[in-house]
Amino acid sequence: MPTAPSEIRAITHLSVPVWHVVCDGVGNQQKPDIDLYDLLMQLEKTHPLGSRLLACACRGVALDRLDSVLQHGIDVWPTDHPIFVADWDKALEYGDWPKLLLLLHHDQLRPTWHEVSATLDPGELNELRKTHPHQLVSTDGSKLWLTRFDPDAPQAGTDYEAAYGRYIPGNPFDALAAVLIFAPASWQL
């Protein structure tokens, strides 16, 4: 049975909605057994954004990234650097304990990769390389995998990149819908 947070505390003086989800006694801290759907439905009772957060992509990161998120709208620098996002269940697997769950608007995210034919017009290829500068070639040479990841990165050109690799091309605060802080009651901002 999923763990029920004992309390949800709104932190209202920040530019985006931030909630401290009190999680004392969480058994598995690497992947806490929290029913985020129920949690967001609880939030909907006090904040109109609650149910819309269900449609967001999620990114789990360590709590020590909170300052960067509040300052820049995302935990990476530069802010258009590749990130991994997923549904909330997968995202809760990432980040240490205590952790942050960043909720991001899908329409503000772009894939870190673009697969094209090796015979693509050179002009079109050069245009794509402006946002996806690194290139991997398929084994048979018929396809090019253009990526924002360094070609030596273990995720570059993989199914993992295809499923979860994204970046924020614009203002990261437009992408950031909300932040959930999963921490014990003793944690303070």
Summarised one tens digit per residue, pLDDT across range 100-142 is 999 999 999 999 999 999 999 999 999 999 999 999 999 999 9
The model carries a pTM of 0.87
The pLDDT of residue 93: 86
| Percent share of the chain, pLDDT over 70 | 87
The pLDDT of residue 25: 65
The position carrying tokens 């769950």 is 101
Q: Contact, 19 vs 9, CB < 8 A?
A: yes
Helices (H) and strands (E) in the chain, counts: 6, 11
The pLDDT of residue 127: 96
List Cα–Cα distances, 157 to 68, 114, 118, in angstroms: 28, 10, 15
C-alpha 155: how far from its chain's center? 16
